Amino acid sequence: MSRHAITLIPGDGIGPEVTDATVRILEAAGQRTGTEFAWEPYEAGADAFAKTGEYIPKALYESVGRTGVALKGPVTTPIGEGFKSINVTLRKQFDLFANVRPIRNLPGLATKYPDVDLVIVRENTEGLYVGLEQEVVPGVCTSLKVITEKGSTRVAKFAFAYAQKHGRKKVHAIHKANIMKLTDGLFLRCARTVAAGYPEIAYAEHIVDNTCMQLVTNPYQYDVMVMENLYGDILSDLCAGFVGGLGLVPGANLGEHAAIFEAVHGSAPDIAGQDKANPTALLQSAVLMLEHLQEAELAGRVEAALERVYAEGRVLTRDVGGQAGTRAFRDAVIAALA
């Protein structure tokens, strides 16, 4: 019998629905392996502010600091105004320096790119996302890009260690050092230094704009890709399109002392509360969480049940060509656990 305390952030929009479905599936799977979960639920974002006066309540910070792991649904981020991204704030607070997004096809879903299997490792705390912006004079704004040797080296080490652990053969460093010679140049130098310590793993470099073209013409040339923050944000969304969209791919934010696993799609308020949302992205993120918690057997059971539902194709949500609702899909995955 094992027991895990986990901070739970349902989010808003469709967040509570996909979170509830994921939690129920994990608990059903846990009953079969003797695994228990102690969920510590907290709101974040506009809903939390309306109730507590804080966009991220202090109690949420304390919970993550205590449990060391969180499962998070989508939280709406205002565009061009309002509060800062909850995702970015949490990543900075807990120094979750590595964002990992595996991109892999689910069985039974026809796409233009079958058998894609690549991993994006994104530096999570630096780059333009440090949020150092100012209006110099009316009509002129600046945004400061911060790249450090420490940040670049540790994310490169993470990428190569990940490749080694998971039997991956190649790591590409993605950059724009031909133009940003100091910042991206530093990132590349750090990646090259780390690569020298892993001679069994092939190392290559691609300029980010060329990478976009290379991806859509031949994504199979890539295995593990490591890059700074903004590039990772863009390319991970692009790659999600290969396998069916953001509603299907997981996300993990990892640091030395904490980890947050989240769905990378939006909160879709237009379908909130209508039993239409697909919980696959958050469920796949929960699989990564189980692996992080060293619950490999349980992670395998959940992943196998999810893939069985997709392979059979009888109970799928509308976004992937089916007619089922969130609850019906949840129940199908639970039934597949058997």
Give the residue numbers annotated as catalytic, written as ranges: 129, 176, 209, 233, 237
Contact 206, 215 (CB under 8 A): no
Contact 249, 281 (CB under 8 A): yes
Token digits for 159?
A: 């990428």
Q: Secondary structure of the chain: what % helix, strand, coil (to 5)?
A: 45, 25, 35
Distance separating alpha carbons of residues 317 and 17, to the nearest angstrom: 13
Distance separating alpha carbons of residues 122 and 228, to the nearest angstrom: 6
Distance separating alpha carbons of residues 143 and 93, to the nearest angstrom: 21
274-284 residues labelled b (16+ CB within 10 A) or e (exposed): eebbbbbbbbb
If residue 311 lies in a helix (H) or strand (E), which one and from where to where?
Answer: helix 296-312
